[in-house]
Copies of this chain bind each other. A is one copy, B any other.
Amino acid sequence: MFHRGELSLHTKGRGTYDITRDVTAIVSASGARVGLATAFVHHTSASLIVCENADPDVRRDLDAFFARLVPDGDRIFSHDAEGPDDMPAHVRTVLTQTSIGIPIAGRRLDLGTWQGLYLWEHRHAGHARRVTVSIVGE
């Protein structure tokens, strides 16, 4: 079987947004008992990560690390049509993931105990973001 689901979210600016529950709902709707759910984000300034879901400090530290690694307004960048966070958002996206494939078992996402799936908004302004989940299985 193949099943396709979509989710949309409106971010409030740079940071991580937990989409585990939304993707889980798509997996349930698919009826798949076992399989693979591949999430894909339709943007180049937001990305996907699987990250520790217990301590919010982890995602704050992640963002602090990436803000230092890829500084807004870095003079190495010539592309700044949308501002100082434009090109850094593209770099941060390329350094993380545009798609992630997660196993399905027992009719649910088979994530590790401490794993959550997050959309990472890399722009400072809020944006409407779209994620497609492609499910294969039986």
Dominant SS among interface residues on chain A: mixed
- Cα distance A58–B82 in the bound complex, in angstroms: 12
B42 engages A55 (CB within 8 Å): no
Q: Which residue of B lies closest to A50 (CB)?
A: B98
Closest 5 CB pairs of A and B: A42-B112, A57-B79, A36-B134, A99-B101, A38-B101
B residues in contact with A60, CB < 8 Å: 78-79
A61 engages B77 (CB within 8 Å): yes
- Cα distance A64–B79 in the bound complex, in angstroms: 12
CB-contacts of A89-112 with B (<8 A): 90-91, 93-103, 105, 110-112
- Cα distance A40–B105 in the bound complex, in angstroms: 13
Query: Which among B2, B58, B78 is the interface contact of A61 at CB below 8 angstroms?
Result: B78
B residues in contact with A2, CB < 8 Å: 34-36, 136-138
